[in-house]
A = this chain, B = another copy of it.
Amino acid sequence: MRFITRDTDYALRAMVLMARALRQEGRKVFTVEEIVLEEKLPKVFLRRILQKLAEKNMLLSYKGKSGGFSFLVKPARISIANVIRVFQGEIELTNCLLKGKICPNRPECKIRKKIKALNSRVVKDLENINIEELSE
């Protein structure tokens, strides 16, 4: 069962790397090249991933020579849930097991409620792990 896709995964790794270097050496800006060399990730793919994180205002990008990416939001405030949402959309294990005629899709459906409760616990847990923590 694939819950975390490769782009989410790579995004986490890249940011964890950045967070650690920031904390330990005060390094702020990283080029895709630097991250790729350390982590052995596919370069253009990672670039697109970082671009997306910048687009979503987690990272800040600097174009041109001596450009790169830095955090726009503190690593401690970027949760796994945030990152998953960027690449995989809303976290919904499933909001309804039996659509259609078997289980009329009514708000009062018990099963639905159970699943939703389960889902919000999962989301909450994923909100509670952040990049800073991952980098420690």
A residues whose Cβ falls under 8 Å from a Cβ of B: 1-4, 9, 12-13, 16-17, 39, 80, 84, 88-94, 97-98, 100, 102-103, 110-111, 114-115, 118, 121-122, 125-126, 129, 133-134
Could you tell me if B98 and A13 are in contact, using CB atoms closer than 8 angstroms? Answer: yes
Could you tell me if B1 and A89 are in contact, using CB atoms closer than 8 angstroms? Answer: yes
CB distance from A73 to the nearest CB of B (A): 19
Closest to A97 in B: B12
Select the residue from A17, A100, A114, A133 with max chain B CB neighbours within 10 A. A114
Q: List 29 A-B contacts (CB under 8 A).
A: A1-B3, A1-B84, A1-B88, A1-B89, A1-B90, A1-B92, A2-B2, A3-B92, A4-B94, A4-B97, A9-B97, A12-B98, A13-B100, A13-B102, A16-B102, A17-B102, A93-B122, A97-B134, A98-B134, A103-B134, A110-B133, A111-B129, A111-B133, A114-B129, A115-B129, A118-B122, A118-B125, A121-B125, A122-B122
CB distance from A105 to the nearest CB of B (A): 14
Could you tell me if B111 and A97 are in contact, using CB atoms closer than 8 angstroms? Answer: no
Which residues on the B side are within 8 Å of A100 (C-beta)? 13, 39
Complex Cα distance A136/B112, Å? Answer: 13
Which residues on the B side are within 8 Å of A4 (C-beta)? 93-94, 97
